[in-house]
Amino acid sequence: MFNSTSIFDNRVLVAAFLAWAIAQVSKTILELFKQRKLALGRLVSSGGMPSSHSALVTGLATAAGRTLGVASADFAIAVVLASIVMYDAAGVRRAVSIQARILNQMIEEAFQGSPMAEKRLRELIGHTPIQVVVGGILGICVGFLCTR
């Protein structure tokens, strides 16, 4: 009834979440060097370099392809999922980030000095294409390393 293997024996799952974790830690370290302060909130936030969403799904797809074969349905599903997530990160979510930045500027100018001007929309939501590509490369590398 019980299988003696651990969830940590699932190399596909480990590759995906390890790629995500490396991306999140990388963002935190980059933020530390840029802002000269430790922002632990970056460990769980979205947006920034590299894209942890891209790292997660490309790590998943790479590991699935290497362990189950590139002709498997699992790999096909992972590639389609990765494509959607990466397109969304650089497209829709990026547009939301730009709109939030513009709205914040407009609210700040229109309501200067009022409590309304202090309420801000989150601006760091999406990714630039390069952030998505770097996250994708990170995920592919981790996927290969976890399935050697």
- For position 102, what pLDDT does the model report? 85
Domain boundaries, the chain: 7-91+126-146
Residue 124 has pLDDT above 70, yes or no: no
Residue 133 has pLDDT above 80, yes or no: yes
Asked whether the bond before 129 is cis by omega within 30 degrees of 0, the reply is no
What pLDDT, in 10s, does the model give residues 21-74?
Answer: 999 999 888 888 887 887 777 777 777 789 999 999 999 999 999 999 999 999
Q: CA-to-CA distance for 27 and 70, rounded, in angstroms? A: 31
What is the band of 148 on the pLDDT scale with cuts at 50, 70, 90?
Answer: confident
Residue 4 has pLDDT above 70, yes or no: no
Tell me whether residue 60 is exposed, middle or buried, using C-beta atoms within 10 angstroms of its C-beta: 0 to 12, 13 to 18, 19 or more. buried
Position with higher pLDDT, 100 vs 52: 52
What pLDDT, in 10s, does the model give residues 69-94?
Answer: 999 999 999 999 999 999 888 877 77
The SS3 assignment for 46 reads coil
User: What does pLDDT average to over the chain?
Assistant: 86
Position with higher pLDDT, 133 vs 125: 133
pTM (2 d.p.)? 0.77
